[in-house]
A and B are shown apart, each in its own frame.
Chain A
């Protein structure tokens, strides 16, 4: 979809409506600095980026953008508006509010906000941005071209799904519970196997549940055992019950978990503080660090500041990860010990809250352990799991351990049957937990397999992304290589291509051969000019990839750092690769503009020049000419000498290109003076050669084009006298400068046919000897001067 016009009112530098009219052709716009060329690009960017302009980000974005969007001298009552008309006659109208926000209407059939700015517009300061971006940034920039959006989404969803499964299956909690049960099992059963534990449960079942043979399953057996033991306890005497409760309380082990928690806490305290300090330093340096990893073999370690090889750094990172894992293990051990402590405190509370030990507690409450009993009543054992500090441990140690010791001492002489029943009760309880843990362990294992399965799918999707990316990258690289070869023929930089670095996801870089040596990044060897050239090629290669979209390409002053040789080849790239796309070129380079005006086909290209900017209330204005003489005219009022000097400079450029086109033979000059010939040198030869070579058609015959030669001679005289004065003594007056400019412009017009509007070198005529305009009204004979 081609753009027909871009019209701006009071937007940026524009005042009353000013339109860029392309007639749906490609267009070259010339304007000196600050003439308003980029305002048209800003207008397109504003529309494409939903009311944002990149170079106004930060302090002049959002609600402050209004300050930069409107012309500073916009009269009250005037609206800031943009109108973009397309080749199908639809028009997008954007009205911009005082705060920089906007409302848009029209052009419903053209979803202009779906055009990607980065594929449509390339500005001078963005040319090398892709090259300087990180590998991840390059990847993100290219990703939409790969058409892998769905795969990327799938990979990301799978990554989050794996975490969600971990959370949903309570895997971490299950592992903590299993660890706690394992500890209790070891305390109760030592190294007994599952079979041996089941045998013990079976034996106890035979002993306590003589009449019950209903089941051989372990868990129901445990439940039957618990009922039977409970029943047996119910038949105990008061003394036996007291012994049992005290024995059970005395069996509680608080000392081990207290010790384990403290040990883990000390280890954590010793390790965590310096670790956190180091991690903060690492995090602070991460951004810079990642940058350095991309291109260098050595990096500065953010922790120690030493230069180290990347491989060493990776080993360093691995060590840090292992340290982190050790810390996590210690944290988990501490959590398990806290769980054990909580369980044991709960059991102790349960044992000593029984009616059977009421008298024992009454006796105790009269002595020094009264506070200890009060503490036992008040402690919330479950709350320890979420908060367990040293003061809690100290209180448990001071208050509960003496109670356990007393209970153990007072139950030491318990009758044998009570001791045995207490032990059996514990075996059944832990045995039941162990049997239950089998299911929990199976559930945890299933969750782990599921997570691993999902991770494996994610890896598969990422691998597919890589494969498909490589294919697309291969195609883009081929275009990149071809364009580079056009811009830089026979140069020692070759095989320029994009590639996916190994062992890194979501990353792309640019490789090339520099004097035959393979380089992993253009930043290693390329000069700024070459990087810009490469940046332009990459933009164009990516834009070409979207050629089906048929959207315009807007290139804003992108050849600033190109020298004449390379700049000249850009036309070839555009004509070869983008002859069916609309290209809107903007330049402040007069010489290049003149070249383009002479080289590009008028059927598909238009040329426009902006007048120099005067004041905000006058705004951006077009020149009626396609030449750049209006630049010179803009100085007539204040500085006629500058006007005269500009006219001479324009003639230097225009005539050099005409002389080149007409194969004018010039005497050889020493050193680099061949490249610095001036208008007079060319005019002298053109007038001399023109006597034999410059002809116009009169009737059916050709005669010497004396009008043109007179005009050229006359302008040569004016340049020698007035233009030289303008350059050297600055004493040219306004009428003189005005006459000089008009004469220069008129003289150049003789090289373009007034009938067919084509240059005199438009076509070969009569073999290779003559060139002529399209209709043959004017012609030039090569090399016959």
Chain B
């Protein structure tokens, strides 16, 4: 699987339908992760924590996004 880029993109698009506040940054990062690290081997807690930290930061809308929404 997850080397199947289109499949991953479709999955993420599907999941975003019910989570419209998920940012593009999260989507892009998750797409890369699913095609790469997340599918290769079970990750350590430390590694997962660092990924989680990045995703939490990605969830903060960029100022341009905020402006666009406003």
Contact = CB atoms under 8 A, between A and B. Distances in A.
Interface of A: 148, 150-151, 153-154, 156-158, 160-161, 164-165, 167-169, 445-447, 449-450, 452-454, 456-457, 460-461, 464
A376 to B, nearest CB: 40
A447 B16 CA distance: 15
A514 to B, nearest CB: 37
Contacts of A453: 15-16, 19, 22, 26
Given A150-B1, A151-B39, A161 B21 contact: no
A267 to B, nearest CB: 34
Contacts of A167: 49, 52
Interface string B1-21: 111000100011011101101
A153 B42 CA distance: 6
B52 A151 contact: no
Contacts of A446: 21, 56, 59-60
A452 B21 contact: no
B40 A161 contact: no
A255 B27 CA distance: 49
Given A153-B42, A158-B38, A457-B30, A164 B48 contact: yes
6 contacts: A151-B1, A153-B42, A157-B37, A168-B56, A453-B16, A457-B34
Given A453-B15, A457-B15, A150 B40 contact: yes
Given A157-B42, A168-B52, 20 more contacts: A150-B1, A153-B40, A153-B41, A154-B1, A157-B39, A157-B43, A161-B51, A161-B55, A165-B52, A168-B53, A447-B56, A449-B19, A449-B59, A450-B22, A450-B55, A453-B26, A454-B30, A457-B11, A457-B15, A464-B7
B63 interface: no
A157 B30 contact: no
Contacts of A157: 37-39, 42-43, 48
Contacts of B55: 161, 165, 450, 454
A430 to B, nearest CB: 26
B45 interface: yes
Contacts of A156: 42
B56 A169 contact: yes
B2 A460 contact: no
Contacts of B56: 165, 168-169, 446-447, 450
B45 to A, nearest CB: 7
- Of all A-B residue pairs in the complex, the 6 with the closest CB atoms, nearest first, are A164-B52, A168-B52, A456-B15, A164-B48, A446-B59, A453-B19
Given A151-B2, A160-B43, A160-B48, A457 B12 contact: yes
Contacts of B30: 454, 457
Interface of B: 1-3, 7, 11-12, 14-16, 18-19, 21-22, 26, 30, 34, 37-43, 45, 48-49, 51-53, 55-56, 59-60
A460 B31 CA distance: 13
Contact of B11 (A168, A452, A460): A460
A656 B24 CA distance: 78
Nearest to A158: B38
A722 B36 CA distance: 78
A160 B33 CA distance: 14
A161 B44 CA distance: 10
Contact of B2 (A154, A445, A454): A154
**Is chain B's binding surface mostly helix, strand, loop or mixed?**
helix
A150 B42 CA distance: 10
Nearest to B22: A453
A456 B19 contact: yes
A395 B40 CA distance: 56
Contact of A460 (B15, B43, B48, B49): B15
B38 A153 contact: yes
A460 B1 contact: no
Contacts of B53: 168
Nearest to A150: B39
A452 B16 CA distance: 10
Nearest to B17: A456
A472 to B, nearest CB: 13
Contacts of B49: 164, 167-168
Contacts of A447: 56, 59
Nearest to A452: B19
B6 to A, nearest CB: 13
B9 to A, nearest CB: 12
B33 to A, nearest CB: 8
B21 to A, nearest CB: 5
A151 B11 CA distance: 13
A643 B19 CA distance: 82
Given A449-B22, A457-B15, A464-B7, A153 B39 contact: yes
Interface core residue of B1, B40, B42, B45 (most chain A CB under 10 Å): B1
Nearest to A457: B15
Contacts of A445: 21
A447 B42 CA distance: 23
B42 A456 contact: no
B1 A464 contact: yes
Nearest to B20: A449
Nearest to A445: B21
Contacts of B2: 150-151, 154
A160 to B, nearest CB: 5
Contact of B48 (A161, A452, A461): A161
Nearest to A156: B42
A234 B48 CA distance: 51
Contacts of A154: 1-2, 34, 38-39
A456 B7 contact: no
Contacts of A161: 38, 48, 51-52, 55
B22 to A, nearest CB: 5
A158 to B, nearest CB: 7
Contacts of B3: 150
A148 B42 contact: no
A161 B50 CA distance: 10
B50 to A, nearest CB: 9
Contacts of B16: 453
Nearest to A460: B11
Given A164-B51, A167-B52, A168-B53, A456 B59 contact: no
A450 B21 CA distance: 9
A464 B11 CA distance: 10
B8 to A, nearest CB: 9
A777 B46 CA distance: 78
B27 to A, nearest CB: 9
Contacts of B21: 445-446, 449
Contacts of B1: 148, 150-151, 154, 464
A298 to B, nearest CB: 38
B25 to A, nearest CB: 11
B1 to A, nearest CB: 5
Contacts of A151: 1-2, 39
A153 B1 CA distance: 11
A19 to B, nearest CB: 41
A153 B36 CA distance: 11
Contact of A450 (B7, B39, B59): B59
B48 to A, nearest CB: 4
Contacts of A169: 52, 56
A445 to B, nearest CB: 8
Nearest to B40: A153
A161 B49 CA distance: 8
Contacts of B39: 150-151, 153-154, 157
Contacts of B48: 157, 160-161, 164
Contacts of B18: 452, 456
